[in-house]
Amino acid sequence: MKRLQCLYKPNKDENYPWALKHPKVNAPLALFKTRKDAMNWFLSLGYDCATWFQTDKKIWGGLLISEKEPTTGEFEYELNVDKFDGGLDYKETLKELCIHTEGLRNLNEAKKALEEVVDFKVLADHETYFPADEDLKIERKKSAKDEEIERLLSLLNESDADKELLQRKLELLQARQASEKQSKPEVVKEVKTVVEKSKPEIKLVKYEFINNLSEEEQIKSLALYAKKVEKLVAQLETKQETYAQDLEEIKVSLRFTLSKIRFLDKDFNGDADFKKLLKLVHNSLNNSIEKISELVVVNPELEAIPSKALYVRNCCGENLRFSELASYVVLDEYHVGFVELNEYKYAIFAQEAKKSSKFLVFDWPVQNNEVVTNVVVPVQETVIVEEEVEVEPKEETEEEKEEDLLEEATARRFNYWGIFLLAMGYGILITVIILQALNII
């Protein structure tokens, strides 16, 4: 059995004051706006766990033990608030946790409560968060039948008790308790058989350093990554503050991908479509880096702790650190990262490994009245479909570009000068012909 604490810490993050934290782990598992959100989110994960929780006065309010009954497969819950100083009402707390008075979960209410948990921060992967060697043994509260049996046994030892009557009551109670325990496995056996037949083997993604992939797989990964970063940056509608180390961790991943693109652009000798895709990915990442530089600023007064980092939502709507989401991309069965596995410091989230085709649309960089080409790239087939769309002229930015974009701009200026000089040459030639025709020269 695991253990966890639900702590009220508004001084750490006033917007997410409720923290789920293991007492022997430095950082919290996740942060929430309310205790109800925190507890119901964790209960949905399905752990055998003893969870101590506080009140909004930072006083211990109670203990909730959740444990799966091996014969039925159902979770049973035991709540204790009487032995704590928080002064919580037993029935109200059961209602908050969506638990029946009989100790079982109110599944309908639990589902509604979980759907309302939409604004929170996940700081670690729950599958790797808890200490591996922990196995908490906790004394469970005795059931009403157990307590009644103990009381009858105690009375039997008294000399003036009606032993015949007490013995009959005791035998009846023990027989009822035994019949309840024996009746459960018969129903469960049928259900268990059905589950085993219908449960497929699920293959999970595994971590892979991008340099270990083939060149085409590397380009596909970079294309998916560039589009992923575009979506993350799109969430930064206003200026955001973070601490220096957090911003640097974001930039480390982006700088590595840019250097990888330059390397592939130089050395890749495969399909021309992949070469064109590299150009699009390069342009996309440069645009994302510019926007990050404009919208994310370092606040030297911020404490360098995970709760003060820059957060955005992932595809599932969970609040996660930008630096963590920018540290990888999923390609088929791979969790593709930009460092070796022993250097990767973030969680590798458990998810099903599956192959799928994804169409990515990138904008081609243009100037003046040129045409934008929307390139639709299915990641697996790598087919390119071009569609011309007229666009308004773009204003040139005065900000410093990446070295390769600067080279492209320089090349364009040389083209303009070439056209200009060619036009002058034609003008001079026509003038000479006219002057000769008029016998002036």
For residue 141, pLDDT over 70 is answered with: no
**Look-up of token digits 């034609």:** 426
Mean pLDDT highest for which of 106-110, 351-355, 421-425, 426-430? 106-110
What is the average pLDDT across 205-210?
89
Cβ neighbours, 10 Å, residue 219: 27
For residue 162, pLDDT over 70 is answered with: no
For residue 185, pLDDT over 60 is answered with: no
What is the rounded CA–CA span in Å between residue 150 and residue 156? 10
Tell me which residue of 49, 177, 32 sits closest to 114, measured CA to CA: 32
Tell me which residue of 23, 22, 41, 30 sits closest to 311, measured CA to CA: 30
What is the average pLDDT across 405-423?
60
Domain boundaries, the chain: 2-129, 144-198, 206-356, 409-441
- The predicted structure's pLDDT at residue 347: 77
- The predicted structure's pLDDT at residue 16: 92
Strand partners, 207: 335
Q: Name which residue leads in pLDDT, 354 or 230.
A: 230
Distance of CA 171 to the CA centre of its chain: 55
For residue 393, pLDDT over 50 is answered with: no
Encode 80-119: b = buried (16+ Cβ within 10 Å), e = exposed. ebeebebebeeeebbebbbbeeebebeeeebeebeeebee
Task: Assign 359 a pLDDT band (cuts: 50, 70, 90).
Answer: low
- Kindly report the backbone phi and psi dihedral angles of residue 368, in degrees, each rounded to the nearest multiple of 5, phi listed first: 55, -130
Tell me which residue of 293, 288, 290 sits closest to 227, measured CA to CA: 288
Q: What is the mean pLDDT of the chain?
A: 78
Q: Do residues 322 and 312 touch, judged by C-beta distance below 8 A? A: yes
For residue 421, pLDDT over 80 is answered with: no
Task: Assign 369 a pLDDT band (cuts: 50, 70, 90).
Answer: very low
Q: Do residues 103 and 97 touch, judged by C-beta distance below 8 A? A: no
Element (H, E) at 126: helix 126-129
CA-based radius of gyration for the chain: 33
Cβ neighbours, 10 Å, residue 280: 22
For residue 366, pLDDT over 80 is answered with: no
Q: Do residues 7 and 16 touch, judged by C-beta distance below 8 A? A: no
The size of the chain, in residues, is 441
Share of the chain above pLDDT 70, in %: 67
Distance of CA 202 to the CA centre of its chain: 20
Cβ neighbours, 10 Å, residue 391: 12
What is the rounded CA–CA span in Å between residue 150 and residue 146? 6
For residue 349, pLDDT over 60 is answered with: yes
- Kindly report the backbone phi and psi dihedral angles of residue 89, in degrees, each rounded to the nearest multiple of 5, phi listed first: -80, 130
- The predicted structure's pLDDT at residue 152: 62
Beta strands per DSSP E along 221-280: 240-242
For residue 198, pLDDT over 70 is answered with: no
Q: Name which residue leads in pLDDT, 55 or 278.
A: 55
Share of the chain above pLDDT 90, in %: 36
